[in-house]
């Protein structure tokens, strides 16, 4: 399986803190997920309630029960837990209110739960190495959440978020503005990133090598002062480079 939206090297996460996994929805069998995580080398354990001392845990991943996960998300306890844990939120697709809550809570690792346990575990394997990660299946919704959070845009009509690239109302890059700082090739790649495409998918669609796309991503993120692909989406919003239609 190809994992999309992989952050570029240079922003490695600190390996010392374990993950606190908030299971925010879905009907997934947690045993399957634990098995999938262990199969790729991660110690994981299921808890009905949040462990009191993170430093006493021997597991890399603490998977919380759904009820406890929602309680933590809504409580002031979450901020305290961030001192000891890296917080991961497993969220269903098409739940913008839940995604907005996670973003407002500064949860920087977001994985879509509408996948197989093996796919979720593979996304975690990537997220484990970096300080922030957003599943491509959640990227378009994240763009909308971040855009609506900007004070200067609060009164504007929201862009329509769609997975259909041919839809005239799809979220798109304003190439005229972006081209003031980026090359034409970098603009095309950035536009594809906004659509949630992986580097490999961009390469296939544009008849380029993956290494060429990787280079474009590296250059454009530097030019817009972004840490990684996910941060690049936020920077596009901050720079006002979005258009609809």
Q: What are the residue ranges of CATH 1.10.10.10 in the chain?
A: 150-244
Mean pLDDT of 70-97: 89
CA 82 – CA 75 distance, rounded (Å): 12
| CA–CA gap between residue 177 and residue 30 (Å, rounded) | 46
Please give the CATH architecture assigned to the domain spanning 19-137. Answer: 3-Layer(aba) Sandwich (3.40)
Domain over 150-244 is classified CATH 1.20.272.10? no
Rounded CA-CA distance 206/44 in Å is: 40
For residue 2, give the DSSP letter. Answer: P
Is the overall model pTM greater than 0.75, yes or no? no
Whether 118 and 52 have beta carbons less than 8 Å apart is answered as no
Average pLDDT over residues 128-134: 78
In the chain, CATH 3.40.50 sits at 19-137
Place 166 in a pLDDT band, splitting at 50, 70 and 90. Answer: very low
Report the pLDDT averaged over residues 48-57.
Answer: 70
- Where residue 186 falls among pLDDT bands split at 50, 70, 90? very high
Q: Which helix (DSSP H) or strand (DSSP E) does residue 206 occupy?
A: helix 199-206
> Average pLDDT of 103-120?
88
Element (H, E) at 61: strand 61-64
């Amino acid at each position: 399986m190809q994992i999309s939206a992989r952050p570029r090297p240079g922003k490695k996460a600190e390996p010392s803190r374990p993950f606190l996994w908030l299971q925010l929805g879905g009907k997934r069998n947690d045993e399957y997920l634990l098995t999938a995580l262990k199969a790729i080398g991660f110690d994981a354990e299921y808890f009905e309630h949040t462990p009191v001392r993170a430093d006493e845990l021997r597991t890399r991943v603490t998977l919380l029960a759904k009820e406890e996960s929602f309680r933590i998300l809504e409580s002031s306890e979450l901020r305290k837990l961030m001192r000891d844990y890296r917080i991961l939120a497993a969220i269903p697709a098409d739940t913008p209110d839940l995604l907005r809550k996670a973003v407002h809570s500064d949860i920087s690792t977001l994985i879509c739960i509408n996948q197989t346990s093996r796919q979720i575990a593979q996304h975690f394997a990537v997220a484990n190495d970096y300080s922030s990660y957003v599943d491509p299946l959640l990227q378009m919704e994240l763009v909308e959440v971040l855009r609506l959070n900007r004070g200067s845009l609060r009164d504007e009509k929201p862009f329509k978020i769609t997975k259909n690239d041919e839809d005239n109302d799809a979220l798109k890059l304003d190439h005229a503005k972006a081209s003031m700082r980026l090359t034409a090739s970098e603009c095309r790649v950035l536009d594809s990133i906004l659509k949630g495409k992986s580097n490999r998918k961009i390469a296939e669609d544009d008849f380029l090598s993956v290494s060429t796309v990787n280079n474009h991503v590296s250059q454009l993120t530097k030019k817009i002062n972004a840490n990684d692909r996910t941060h690049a989406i936020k920077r596009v919003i901050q720079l006002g480079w979005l258009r609809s239609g």
